[in-house]
Structure 1
């Protein structure tokens, strides 16, 4: 069964689909198209619930055509947004700020998920603490990802550095779907990854939880997923507010109905892949994240500081990247 579940989730992260859905009549009287992007995984639950509960349809006008695009990682999400293939959606703050520094056309307009990422050790590596990562090889989803930045933060806390910065910890970029094989083959000593991959490493690859979601990097304040919007999308205030109203509805629904929300995610992913996730594994992973609209701006700035030190960006000036004006207006009314 575990191999079966692993194969299902592995297939999810390589899917790129375009789907279209209708809408009703609140956002605009003019015809327009809005493309919503997200990853088909648990940390993007707010977008999935918003789509499945028809919240976006309810909040956008009947003349608005909504398309959706799924991508497997933040780099591809941001590339799609940079080429106008995605207008708004959910992504990790790491890839977004990397793009923003080069071209300040991309903005955070809401939070979506805090936590949801863990640090798991390969039992065969006999790692029992962060200090034991000295001289070890750690898998990350992709260079510059949010988990990459979180690992760098954790290493800072014990005076360790990646080899790319003159340190002793090798960071190995690998798709989350590959981490189980890397553990089994003893090709990596640990992995900084998002859920449910951490849970899968524990249950299918004899991994040991080194730092749980509330301990890894900034703990419960670790911003894993945010709502990102292009500058051109922000020019249409009606569209921005329509999206955020739907997003707030989705967040509230998930907070009030966690079991039903998990079922919605399972069915959504089944529709995309034709296969069904394991309910117990999904529930265990859901317990390691917090769905929220809140954004910790200090944490985002620290992420930029770490990205600068890693030489992913040329400067850490992200002033203007976070724009919560519309969100605050809606939440205060």
Structure 2
């Protein structure tokens, strides 16, 4: 697990400046002491100002109030993503070299995660520059850093999450006393499940009238479901399809049914704010690669499925059966639109789910300047910020 960057060294509080005592008489002595004192105070003022600048500059994860300075293309960009079909654009972009092509001389380093909170820790610890991630952890990262450390720069996937359960479960009430899994505490599916349970007037806990929600890696949830140790999962693709087709689960709820038009941001792309300020050319190149990967998937679904399956096999050691792959792709929509209008509601959902004490202020989370530049250049419609770019 990446560790957070060490805080800058403390700056000592200056004591009263020393006065150089030179034997003088009368007015000349007073004048000399005043002149020395004035110079000492000026010197200390400059040192304090310099120390303040050093402290501000040392926090690379937070955005400063200083004007952005374009430092040109980065030497390296560290990109995170998950081995899920809902991260298909990332899998395609990496495997087909589409990111690398656009990045040119910038080295692409990748890292995979099981769920969003892990990726958030890496971002806030500054061991990651950008990541594909769920909407919930994206909001959490923004809130934890008081709106400074990260920016939402694009969407990636809409849809692709379902509550799947044992065949004998036919209603929300039947979940009482059952064990239902999500990938990780506080991740997108964890928030969605707990919010929905709250709407159904069902408590979360180990009691007979409660739903026991546990957090388990997707692959382990599949094994536990087959063994009968858990009775359901709110899972992203391809895991919901694997539970249905490989383990005999049935769909109790498709999350699409909870959102207007069936659209909600399952996966988005975020970047460290300071990296965006320092290297906008690199971020723009990343977005061009993201668009190329999305266009490939939309234009040639057969090739996209093959690329994704090969990537999943390389990352997890196992490829998906064709029926699972087909079902998973049918349940998602790859899009660079992050559905910005849903984020205020998503922030409220975290409170309802008991994951957050108060709804995060999401104003200022989004910066679609480079995304819309890339889309416009490609002759595609720009993305609506829905006011998410304004503080």
TM-score by length of 2: 0.71
Separation in 1 of the partners of 2:104 and 2:86? 27
**Aligned match of 2:132 in 77, 90, 97?**
90
Tell me which residue corresponds to 1:258: 301
Alignment length (residue pairs): 302
Q: Is 2:107 the counterpart of 1:81?
A: no
Gaps of at least 5 residues in structure 2 are: 1-69, 378-391
Separation in 2 of the partners of 1:192 and 1:150? 8
- The alpha-carbon deviation at position 193 of structure 1 amounts to 0.6
- The alpha-carbon deviation at position 157 of structure 1 amounts to 4.3
Tell me which residue corresponds to 1:13: none
Gaps of at least 5 residues in structure 1 are: 1-26
**Aligned match of 1:214 in 251, 256, 270?**
256
- The alpha-carbon deviation at position 273 of structure 1 amounts to 4.9
- The alpha-carbon deviation at position 101 of structure 1 amounts to 0.8
Q: Is 2:157 the counterpart of 1:113?
A: yes
- The alpha-carbon deviation at position 31 of structure 1 amounts to 5.7
Separation in 1 of the partners of 2:328 and 2:122? 28
Q: Aligned ranges for residues 165-314 of structure 1 at < 5 Å?
A: 168-212=210-254, 214-215=256-257, 220-235=262-277, 236-273=279-316, 275-314=318-357
Separation in 2 of the partners of 1:185 and 1:60? 46
Q: Is 2:177 the counterpart of 1:143?
A: no
TM-score by length of 1: 0.82
SS in 2 for 1:169: strand
Q: Is 2:351 the counterpart of 1:317?
A: no
Greater relative contact order structure (CA < 8 Å, 6+ sep): 1
Separation in 2 of the partners of 1:313 and 1:74? 15
- The alpha-carbon deviation at position 29 of structure 1 amounts to 6.3
Separation in 2 of the partners of 1:155 and 1:228? 28
Tell me which residue corresponds to 2:371: 327
Separation in 1 of the partners of 2:215 and 2:260? 22
Q: Is 2:112 the counterpart of 1:32?
A: no
Deviations 1:280-321 (A, max 9, x none): 321221111110011222322212112123443343212111
Separation in 1 of the partners of 2:255 and 2:366? 24
**Aligned match of 2:107 in 59, 62, 65?**
65
Is 182-191 or 138-147 further displaced after alignment? Answer: 182-191
